[in-house]
């Protein structure tokens, strides 16, 4: 037999264009088992956690890394045998006692790691694990979930999850997926959740505090559950009651909902954003102080992420337009149908409303060259700071508008359905989208889409030869 390859260290990063050190090479994470203890019910309570990661080696491994930027680590073992480990920045470097063969399944256990919540601020890392008025929650997108627990923190390496929360009795714990049970004994309650669909680490939700569950209704095959502080539950019910109709609206356009549960988590804090944590969209209460046209269409934006971004995750962070461009597209088309575009002024590039989607897209088109200059092309952000710019959201939606103009409504709808069906529960790239669109349309769209996605100048809009792009300002 051929001699086995000599073991070598796994890469300390996946080479993502915008954050090369994020994630790790040499293995594929398959499942996370998170065991989390909150000693008290105070919102600022740290986590004392243990994570067991089932993985498969993708090379002969002499050592491998996890991403972790939390406070401390107690011990590390591989397949139950103590392993040597050290920390270098936000890397946890692990050397098992015996090297791992290519293709071998193994379990790495990191015991008694500590994560401490922070007050939300303008620093995105401050919301990875944050306190709010009624407890704590997580929002680690894009690069910060490893501040909470050791992981392979990149959406290219998705895995299933199990969660166990040990909290004081009377405290509610909630995570992604479905509740598998809870038990109270000796003044403490253990909550167990499971997310059976592969999930990117940045979509994890760990919410603990004075919270309660409600449901806006029933849906066959999908558990609908909303989570709110009791002090605001009654006030939030009319907003959350729209959830089932919004779910019907999305399913009519892109097919069946991809997960086992869905709902909204509303917290009393000032985050300044909403976030699509898998199966549970996160909002702060400030959204619902705005007119209905804003929060209603934003709820659809976050719901659409369950297909675009959660079920089908980006292969690398430059592919973020596949998340935000699609979510903005469905937000805008929903708002147009509801008659909201004319009134909704939040987040639009000119801070004004538009009566139709065509009017909005024409205004976005006018900014095309400026945004390419400021932030980079739609699928090639200039840097990590440009990742969540207008270009990813409105610019991404404009690409989809141009595609629909080129192939027609019926073919565009088939492309959308095929995308979320073919790549369900996986990570996919811009190149994958271009190839699939060409296949479904039965024509080579690579030149057309690459010009829209990677070009430094905004292409002509099909069907609208009169549309013009504003000159670039320094």
**CB contact at 8 A, 68 and 90:** yes
- For 15-67, what is each residue's pLDDT tens digit? 999 999 999 999 999 999 999 999 999 999 999 999 999 999 999 999 999 99
Query: 64 - beta bridge partners?
Result: 94
- For 178-227, what is each residue's pLDDT tens digit? 999 999 999 999 999 999 999 999 999 999 999 999 998 888 889 999 99
- Cα R_g (the chain), whole angstroms: 23
pLDDT on residue 233: 97
CA 284 to each of CA 172, 270, 308, 453: distance values in angstroms, whole numbers, following the listed order: 18, 6, 22, 33
Q: Residue 89 — pLDDT band, cuts 50, 70, 90?
A: very high
Supply the mean pLDDT for the chain. 95
Helix, strand, coil fractions of the chain, as percent rounded to 5: 30, 30, 40
- For 286-342, what is each residue's pLDDT tens digit? 999 998 989 999 999 999 999 999 999 999 999 999 999 999 999 999 999 998 876
**CB contact at 8 A, 11 and 22:** no
Structure tokens at 362: 């024409």
Tokens 């944590």, residue? Answer: 277
| pLDDT higher than 50, residue 1 | no
| pLDDT higher than 60, residue 437 | yes
Structure tokens at 234: 């009654």
In the chain, the percentage of residues whose pLDDT exceeds 70 is 97
Average pLDDT over residues 106-133: 93
pTM of the model: 0.96
Q: Residue 123 — pLDDT band, cuts 50, 70, 90?
A: confident
| pLDDT higher than 60, residue 343 | no
In the chain, the percentage of residues whose pLDDT exceeds 90 is 91
**CA neighbor of 346 nearest in space, from 281, 285, 286, 295:** 295
């Amino acid at each position: 037999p051929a001699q086995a390859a000599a073991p070598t260290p796994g890469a300390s990063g996946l080479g993502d264009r915008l954050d090369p050190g994020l994630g790790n090479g040499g293995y594929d994470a398959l499942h996370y088992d998170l065991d989390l203890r909150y000693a008290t019910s105070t919102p600022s309570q740290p986590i004392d956690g243990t994570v067991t990661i089932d993985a498969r080696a993708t090379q002969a491994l002499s050592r491998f890394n996890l991403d972790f930027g939390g406070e401390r680590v107690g011990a590390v073992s591989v397949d139950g045998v103590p392993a040597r480990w050290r920390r270098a920045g936000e890397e946890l470097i692990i050397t098992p006692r015996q090297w791992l063969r290519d293709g071998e399944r193994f379990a790495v256990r990191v015991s008694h790691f500590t994560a401490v919540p922070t007050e939300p601020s303008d620093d995105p890392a401050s919301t990875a694990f944050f306190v709010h008025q009624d407890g704590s929650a997580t929002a680690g997108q894009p690069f910060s979930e490893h501040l909470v627990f050791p992981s392979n923190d990149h959406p290219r390496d998705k895995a299933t999850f199990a969660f166990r929360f040990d909290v004081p009795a009377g405290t509610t714990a909630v995570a992604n997926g479905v509740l598998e049970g809870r038990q109270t004994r000796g003044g403490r309650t253990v909550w167990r959740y499971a997310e059976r669909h592969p999930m990117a680490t940045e979509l994890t939700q760990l919410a603990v505090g004075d919270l309660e569950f409600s449901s806006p209704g029933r849906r066959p095959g999908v558990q609908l559950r909303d989570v709110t502080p009791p002090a605001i539950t009654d006030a939030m019910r009319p907003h959350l009651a729209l959830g089932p109709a919004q779910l019907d609206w999305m399913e009519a356009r892109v097919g069946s909902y991809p997960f086992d549960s869905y709902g909204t988590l509303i917290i009393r804090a000032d985050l300044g954003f909403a976030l699509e944590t898998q199966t549970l969209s996160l909002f702060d209460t400030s959204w619902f102080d705005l007119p209905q046209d804003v929060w209603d269409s934003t709820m659809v934006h976050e719901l659409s992420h369950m297909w675009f971004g959660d079920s089908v995750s980006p292969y690398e962070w430059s592919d973020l337009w596949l998340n935000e461009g699609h979510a903005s597209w469905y937000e805008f088309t929903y708002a147009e149908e509801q008659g909201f575009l004319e009134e909704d002024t939040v987040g639009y590039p000119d801070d004004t409303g538009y009566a139709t989607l065509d009017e909005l897209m024409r205004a976005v088109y006018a900014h095309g060259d400026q945004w390419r200059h400021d932030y980079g092309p739609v699928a090639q952000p200039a840097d990590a700071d440009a990742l969540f710019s207008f270009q990813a959201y409105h610019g991404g939606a404009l690409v989809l508008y141009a595609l629909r103009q080129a192939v027609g409504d019926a073919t565009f709808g088939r492309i959308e359905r095929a995308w979320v069906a073919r790549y369900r529960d996986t990570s996919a790239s811009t190149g994958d989208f271009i190839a699939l669109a060409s296949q479904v349309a039965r024509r080579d769209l690579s030149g057309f889409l690459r010009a829209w996605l990677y070009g430094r100048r905004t292409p002509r809009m099909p069907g609208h030869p009169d549309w013009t792009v504003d000159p670039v300002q320094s």
